[in-house]
Structure 1
Amino acid sequence: MDLSREKSSTPDYTGVPAKEYTLDIPRIPSVELPLKVSGSQESVTRAIEMCGGLVKVKRALNAHKDTPEGLELYLNNDKNENGTSNFFNEHPIIGKLVPQRDESIVMKLSLPKGTLEACGGNLQKSIASVPSNRVKIVPVGIVNNTIRFREMSDFQMRLDNVPSANEFNESVGSLDWKSVRNYVQSIPDEDSRPFENINNLIIDRTSKIPSSDFQLPPPPRFSMVNIPFLYKFRGNPYATKSSSGESTVRGTYLKNYQQLVHIFDENARIPTAAHPLLQKDYQKAEESGVYPGSNKDSKFYEKLEECLKILTEAFAKRPIWVKRHIDGLVSQDLHGTLKIALSLVSYRFTKGPWRNTYIKFGIDPRSSPEYAKFQTEYFKIEGKLQKSPLAAKNMPDPPAKFYETDTLGDIDSRFRFDGTQIPWYLMLQIDLLIYEPNIAEVYSKAIFLAKPTELTGWFHELDLTKIRKIVKYELGCLVQGNSQFSEYKLKFFKNMLYTKESMIDKEKHLDPDGDTEMAESERSSEARGETNENGEDKEGEEEVEDDDDDDDDDNGVEAGEVDDAVMEQDEEDMTYDDYETQPKRQGLPQNLQEDNSLDPAFDITNAGFAQIVSQVAQRDPETAAKLRKELDGFVLQCDLSNSS
C-alpha cells in the first residue's frame, strides 16, 4: 500500500520511498449519525441509547442489505414518570445499510505533541511543518459496513401539560387493553372538552399561550414524505447580492405577463387584450418613453415599438403562429423585446391542437373550421436513425438562433414539408404540410367535425391518422436518402378505412346464418385438417392480408401527439436496405406497382386472394400462375415474420 503524501502540501521527499503496510487489519462497521457526537464515553453512550441500545445497533449492522430492517434513531427519548414519552407524535428516523459501499481505510496519524495546536488545527499544515521522520501514519482498520441516515427529521410537539394528550398516552400509548377500554368508555357521546378553550384563545404573538389551553392532539406526522424533495432551485441570473445581504435585480429581466388558457372546453375564456399589468407598463412607457425596468440608453421602448409593428402585420396576415417561425421575421437587435411584444398581441393554449402556438387576441380557433389548418402536429425521428451516416448527410442543420426568413413577411420555406426535403423544425402546422400532394389530397377531402375536440381539433381521427402516416413514412425515407416513395404504400395510406386494423367491423362478413365467412385459404385448411403452431385448428385464426404487413412501419419516425399511443401500433425499425427492396416485399410485380391504372372497381383494402391474383394476371399471367400454384391464399403475419 502506497501512503506517500502529495508534494503540493508536504516537503519535498524526492528519493524517499513510501513505507508499505499490510491490509491484514480488522474490518470495522460504522454508523453515520446526524448528530454531533464527541469522543467522550458519555456522548457515545448517549448516541447508542438514542438508537435503541447496542443490541439493536449490532442487529442492524448484521442485517442483510436487501432486508427492509433499519436502525431507528429517536431524537427525543425523554420519559415522564409513567415511563411514556413526553412527545405525543414522536417517531424515529430510519437508518439503512449503504448498498454496494466501497471499503474505506481508517488511518491513525501521530504528530509531535502540540503541533496541531500550533498550526491552528489545520492538519495539512501540521504535517508539512514537521520532518518526515516525526510523522507516523498507520492503517488501523477497514470500514466495510455502514449505516447511513438520509430521512428528514419531522417536527414534534411536546404535550407535557395537555390533559387530553396525557390521558391518551397513558391508555392507548401503554398498549394495555384494560386502560384503552377504560379510556374509551370515559369519553361521552358528545365530548366538548377538547374544544372548551379554543373559543377563548387570544392570539397574541407577543405572549406565549399556555399549553394547557390546547386540548387537541397534533397530527402524527407534519411532513408527508420521508425524503427531502429536490426543488432544483437556481438563483436568478440577474440578481446580485450586496455585502449587506440585500438582493437586487439588474439587467433586462422584465416580466412579460403572457396570458395562458389552461382548459379547452366551452368554459375557457379567450383573452381579447393584454394583461392589465402589462398594459399598465406599456402605458407608462408611452408617457415617459422608457419602458419600466429598462434603461433609457438601451432604447428598449423604441425597439419594442418596432417589434410590435412587425408582429401586427404578421398577425393580420396569419392569426396563429409558432414562435420559431416568428423568429425569422424579427431582426437580432429586436429579439430582446419579442416576448413582451408577443404578450401585447397574442395569447396561448397550454393544451389541445393549438398548443405551442401564439394566437391573436380575440381569435378563438374553436369557433370555426377555418382555423383547422393552423393545428400543430409534432414529429420526431428516432435517435438511432439520426446517428446513421446517411442521416448526417440528409438531415438539415437546425436554424440558427437568429435567422432571417427567405420569404418576406412570411414563414421561411425551409419550415414547409413538400415531400422533397426534411423541414427545419418538426413541429408542423397543417397548412405547412399541404405542400405535399398526397397530404393536400387528404386535406381537400376532409370533412370537419361539428365541434372541435382536445385531441384532434376539427379533424376526424382517421384523417389525422392518414396525414401522420404519410408524413412519418416520407420523413423516414428522406432521412435515409430515399426520395422514391412507394406509390402503392401512399395509396394505401390515403385509402385507409380505420385508424387501426383491429377496428375493422367483422359483422359485415357474417353470412345469413350469422357465422363469420371464412377466407378461401381457411376453407382449404379446414378441409385438410391443418392446425396452427399451438396445435389448434386454424379455423379460429384471424386472416392477415399480405399487403398490410408493413402498414405500421413508419421508418423510425414517431408523432409526438398524446393520442398517438392509442391510434398507432408498435412500430418496427427499418434499415436503408429495407427501402431498397421495398417493392419486392409488397407481394406484387414491379410493373404493377408502378402502374396505377387498375380496375376502378378494384379495392385493394377489401380484396381477397383470388381477386388480387386476377388483377396480377391482367399484366403478368406467368406470375399469376405461379402465385396460384405456390400459394393457397394469404399468409399469416406471424408466419411471414418467422419465414423472413
Structure 2
Amino acid sequence: MDKSMALDLTREVSAPSDSVGVPAKEYTLDIPRLPSVELPLKVSGSQESVVKAVQMCGGLTKVKKALNAHKDTPEGLELRLNDDNKRDGPNTFFNEHPIIGRLVPQRDESIVMKVSLPQGTLQACGGNLQKAIASVPPNKSKIVPVGIVNNTIRFREMSDFQVRIDNVPSACEFNESLGSLEWERIQQYVQSIPDQDTRPFENINNLVVDRTSQIPSSDFQLPPPPRFSMVNIPFVYRFRANPYATKSSSGESTVRGTYLKNYQQLVHSFGDEAEIPLAAHPSLQEDYQKAQETGVYPGSNKDSKFYEKLDQCLSILHEAFAKRPIWVKRHIDGLIPQDLHVSLKIALSLVSYRFTKGPWRNTYIKFGVDPRTSAEYAKYQTEYFKVEGKLQKSLLAAKNIPQPPAKYYVSNKPGDIDSRFYFDGAQVPWYLMLQIDLLSHEPNIAEVCASVTYLKKPTELTGWFQELDLTKIRKIVKYELGCLVQGNTQFSEYKLKFFKSMLYTKESMMNKESSADADGDVSMADFEDVGGKIDKAQTKEQGNKLQDDDVDDNDDEDENDDDDDNGVESGEPDDVVLEQEENDMDDEDFEAQPQKSEFGRNESNGHDQINPAFDITTASFEDIISQISQRDSVTAAKLRKNLDGFIFESEL
C-alpha cells in the first residue's frame, strides 16, 4: 500500500433529510507497519499475559524469525501449551507436540484503528462498538489509524492430546535416559534392562476396572502413545444435514412432515434361507392405500399432487419391469420425466426389492423374481469397473472419457436403456456399473458368453458364471476399456485371443514349466491345445506389433503390474458410490464414473488440443513444459525457472 495514500473516514450523522454526510478528517497512511500473531489463546492486555504468550511461542527471537520467514518456506512458529518453567520435573509430559502457526499465504493488510469515546459509552451499548460510535455526537468521538498489519501468522492445526507421566516410573526412567540424549545415561539404561523384562507388564493383570475408584497411574507401567492424532488438520467429513430436519430454539431436532419414508425392501443374505419379498412393505402398502382412498399421499400436501405423480411413475415402472425384471437405478432415471422424479423412490419400493450383496447388488429386482432360481437371470448380473486415478489425470483420458449423464436425462431409446450405457468396444460407456447383457454387444464378450457353462447353483461371488468365464469377460473389458480411455481403438488380436482362451483364472496357477513369451503370457503350446496351431512367426510379429499398439505399456515401472489391465480395476462397487446413488446426489461425484480432468478439458479456443504423438512416459522436459504452457503460461514459466528437469519414476 502506497504511503502517500490517504484514509478518508466518512460517517453519517443525524441531520435533516436535505443534508448530506459530513466528511471526517483525512489521515495519511504514513504509519507503522505491524506484524501480528493470531494465537488460539485467551490473551489479555496485561503485560504478564502477553509475556507468557510470547514465551509459549519460544520467545521473542523465534517469533521474529517466523515473521521474517518467506511464505513458501516450511518453517513455522511452534506454540507449546505447557509452560516449562512451572513443571515439577522434565518428565511431566510424555507426548508434548506443539501447534505450528504459519504465515498467511496471501497478504491481507488491515488497518488498526484507535477509537476514543466518552467513558462508559461502550458499556452502555452492551459492548457493541458500532452502536456505541453511532450513539455519540461526532465531536465527542475520535477515530485515528495507528498502524497497518501487513504480516500475519495464524494457527490452524489441531492440538494433540498430552499425557502426564509423573507417576509412571518406567516412562520417567526412559525419558531420563534416552530423553537426555546423553550417551552415559543411555548406556546405563540399556544395560539395566534384563533379557526378558516383564516389569512394564507386571501390574496389568492386577488392575481392577472400577469406575468408582481411581487407579494410581503408578500401576500402569507402559508409556502412553507418543501421538494420538495422526493428522494436523481436522478431517473433512463432508457432513450434509437432513434437508427435512429442523432444530428448535431449545435444541430439539424435528423432521418436517414432508419427509416420506420409502420402506425399501432389502435382502441381506444370499443363502438359501433368504426369503424373496413378494410385495411391498406393509407400512408402504398402508400409506398407498390411504392415498388411493383420499387422493393425498400421507405426509404430502394436496397442492403438490404427489399421489398423481406417483401413479404416473408406477405406470412407467410397471411397463419397464414387464420388459426387464432387473434394473440398475441409473438406467431407470432416463425413463422417468423430471417432474416425476420426486416420487421415484417410493414407486421403486412399491414394485421392487434389492440385494445388499452378491452379483445382483445395486439393482432393483421385481417382486417375486428370484434370480437365484434360474440361469436366465445371469445376464442381469452387475460388474463394476473403475479407471485408476493416475490414468484419469492424463491428457488423453480427458479427451476420451465422456461426460457423465445429467441427473435428469431422457433415454435415447424410449422405454429402454440408453445406448450410451452399453459397452460395444467402440466407446467408453456413461456409467461403469455394467450388467452382463450390456457387455455382450462387444463381439469378443459375446463369443465368451455363447460358450459358457452355467453353474448348477449360483454363488455370492460369481453368480451363475464359472470363475474362469467371468475372468475372461473382466479381462477383455479392462483391456479394451483401458485402450479406449487412452484413445487407442486398435485392439491387439493376440491379447484378445489369449483372454478368450485362458485356462486359468490367475497366471500364478499356470504350469511353471510353460515358457513365457515377451509379454509374460503362456507359451504357444497352450494355444495349440485350445484354439488350434498358430504360426509362431506370425505370433512373434504380432507380439512385436503389440508393443507399438499399447498406449500405456511400461513394464519397467513395476514388474508386478498386470499390463493387460491398462489402468482399469474391477470388483465390487465402493459403499460410497452406493450411498451417493441412494441419496440421489449429483452423478459428477460418483466414483464409478471416471471424470474429465479439468486440466485437460477441450476448449473452443483450441488451446487444449492435444498432440496425438505426445506420450507423457517418453516426453522430454521441454516437451512437457511446452504442453503446460499451452494451458497455463505462468505455471510453465515458473516450472522452467525452478526445475532443471524431470526424473521419471522408473529411473528412481
TM-score using structure 2 length: 0.57
The Cα shift of 1:179 comes to: 2.3
Match of 1:133 among 125, 132, 139: 139
d(CA) in 1 for partners of 2:107 and 2:469?
A: 49
Name the amino acid aligned to 2:159: S
Q: 1:441 to 1:187 in 2, by over 3 A?
A: closer
Aligned 8 A contact 2:57 2:80 in 1: yes
Q: Is the 8 A contact 1:319 1:363 kept in 2?
A: no
Q: Secondary structure at the match of 1:147?
A: strand
Question: How much has 1:19 moved relative to structure 2?
Answer: 3.3
Supply the AA of the counterpart residue of 2:416: I
Query: Retained in 2: the 8 A contact 1:95–1:149?
Result: yes
1:44 aligns with 2:50: yes
Displacement of 1:144 after TM fit? 2.0
Q: Which residue matches 2:590?
A: none
d(CA) in 2 for partners of 1:139 and 1:370? Answer: 78
Structure 1 letter corresponding to 2:33? R
- The question of 1:411 aligning with 2:411 is answered no
Counterpart contact for 1:365–1:371, Cα < 8 Å: no
Distance 1:260 1:455 in 2: 27
Unaligned ranges ≥5, structure 1:
262-266, 477-488, 520-541, 551-561, 577-644
* Aligned equivalent of 1:338, options 343, 347, 367: 347
Q: Tell me, yes or no, if the aligned pair for 1:50 and 1:75 is still in contact at 8 Å.
A: yes
The Cα of 1:115 is off from its aligned counterpart by 2.5
Stretch deviating more after TM superposition (78-87 or 229-238):
78-87
Whether 1:201 and 2:193 are equivalent positions in the alignment is no
1:75, CA displacement in angstroms?
0.5
2:235 to 212, 226, 229: 229
CA–CA distance in structure 1, aligned partners of residues 140 and 39 of structure 2? 34
Measure, in 2, the Cα distance between the counterparts of 1:168 and 1:147. 36
In structure 2, relative to structure 1, the CA distance for the partners of 1:224 and 1:24 (3 Å cut) is same
Q: What is the correspondence of 1:391-406 to structure 2 with a 5 Å cutoff?
A: none
Matches within 5 A, 1:488-567: 565=567
Q: Do residues 214 (structure 1) and 184 (structure 2) align?
A: no
Query: 1:80 & 1:575 partners in 2: Cα distance?
Result: 64
Paired letter, 2:73: T
Q: Does 1:241 align with 2:250?
A: no
The alpha carbon displacement at 1:322 in A equals: 2.6
- Map of 1:157 onto structure 2: 163
Tell me the SS of whatever aligns to 1:173: helix
Encode CA deviations 1:452-507: one digit per residue, 9 max, x unaligned.
Answer: 6799777475589779999x99xx9xxxxxxxxxxxx99x88x966569x989999
Distance 2:381 2:86 in 1: 75
More off after superposition, 197-206 vs 321-330: 321-330
**Is 1:144–2:153 an aligned residue pair?**
no
Which residue number in structure 2 is paired with residue 347 of structure 1? 355
Amino acid at match of 2:347: L
Within the candidate set 14, 22, 34, 1:16 is matched to: 22
| Alignment RMSD (CA, Å) | 6.0
Q: 1:362 aligned to 2:370?
A: yes
Hey, what's the Cα distance between the residues in 1 that align with 2:429 and 2:181? 71
Distance 1:457 1:54 in 2: 67
Deviations 1:310-335 (A, max 9, x none): 86775464233132443537966853
* CA distance 1:83–1:64, change in 2 (3 Å): farther
Structure 2 partner of 1:254 = 261
The separation in 1 between residues aligned to 2:535 and 2:428, in whole angstroms, is 44
Q: CA offsets per residue over residues 238-278 of structure 1, 9 Å max, x none?
A: 223234322233433536566589xxxxx976995469xx9
| Superposition deviation, residue 8 in structure 1 | 7.2
Matched, 1:298 2:307: no
Which residue of the other structure, out of 41, 45, 52, is the alignment partner of 1:35?
A: 41
Partner of 1:345: helix, strand, or coil?
strand
Q: String of CA shifts for 1:206-264, please: whole Å, max 9, x gaps.
A: 34333333322111111111111111222222223234322233433536566589xxx
Is structure 2 residue 219 aligned with structure 1 residue 186?
Answer: no
CA contact (8 A) 2:7 2:28 kept: no
Alpha-carbon distance in 2 for matches of 1:159, 1:335: 60
1:128 Cα shift?
1.1
Residue 27 of structure 1 deviates from its aligned partner by: 1.9
Inter-partner Cα distance in structure 2 for 1:309 and 1:445: 37
Match of 1:55? 61
Give the conservation status (yes or no) of the 8 Å contact 1:102–1:144.
yes
Bigger Cα displacement from structure 2, 156-165 vs 48-57: 156-165
Alignment of 1:258-297 (within 5 A): 259=266, 272-273=274-275, 282-283=281-282
- 1:115 and 1:274 map into 2 onto residues whose CA distance is 75
Aligned length in residues? 493
Partner of 1:105: 111
Q: Match of 2:23, SS?
A: coil
Question: Which residue does the alignment assign to 1:615?
Answer: none
- Distance change (3 Å), C-alpha of 1:172 and 1:543: closer
Contact in 1 for aligned 2:171/2:221 (Cα 8 Å): yes
Tell me whether 1:26 sits opposite 2:32 in the alignment.
yes
1:453 to 1:268, Cα distance in 2 relative to 1, 3 A: farther
Instruction: Evaluate the alpha carbon distance shift between residue 339 and residue 151 of structure 1 in structure 2; reply closer, same or farther with a 3 A threshold.
Output: farther
Contact 2:77 2:102 in 1 (8 A): yes
Counterpart among 112, 118, 128 of residue 122 in structure 1:
128
Q: 2:176 aligns with which of 162, 170, 174?
A: 170
Shift of 1:97: 1.9
Task: Map 1:381-392 to 2 at 5 A.
Answer: none
- What is the TM-score normalised by the length of structure 1? 0.58
Change in CA separation of 1:270 and 1:22 when aligned onto 2, cut-off 3 Å: farther
Partner of 2:555: none
Q: Which residue of 2 aligns with 1:638?
A: none
Q: Considering Cα pairs closer than 8 Å and 6+ residues apart, tell me whether 1 or 2 has the greater RCO.
A: 2
| Residue identity in the other structure for 1:411 | D
Q: 1:546-568 CA deviation, whole Å, 9 max, x = no partner?
A: 9x999xxxxxxxxxxx956469x
SS in 2 for 1:69: coil
Residue segments in structure 2 that go unaligned for 5+ positions in a row? 301-305, 454-464, 498-517, 525-533, 552-563, 570-595, 605-652
Q: Deviations over 1:275-310 (max 9, x none)?
A: 9xx99x92466689889xxx9963589979998898
2:79 paired residue number = 73
Name the larger-Rg structure. Answer: 1
Amino acid aligned to 2:188: N
Question: CA offset at residue 355 of structure 1?
Answer: 7.2
Taking only the aligned residue pairs, the percentage that are identical comes to: 50
Partner of 1:583: none
Instruction: Decide whether the 8 Å contact of 1:372 with 1:457 is kept in 2.
Output: no
C-alpha separation in 2, matches of 1:212 and 1:426: 60
SS at match of 1:167: helix
Q: 1:39 to 1:300 in 2, by over 3 A?
A: closer
What is the distance in 2 between the residues matched to 1:357 and 1:269? 18
Q: Distance in 1 between matches of 2:282 and 2:193?
A: 66
Q: Which amino acid aligns with 2:58?
A: G
| CA spacing shift, 1:10–1:195, aligned 2, 3 Å | farther
**Alpha carbons 1:398, 1:425 under 8 Å: kept:** no
Matches of 1:88 and 1:460, distance apart in 2: 53
Question: 2:379 aligned with 1:371, yes or no?
Answer: yes
Q: CA deviation at 1:443?
A: 7.2
1:573 Cα deviation from its structure 2 partner: 10
**Cα offset, 1:51, TM superposition:** 1.0
Cα shift at 1:181: 2.6
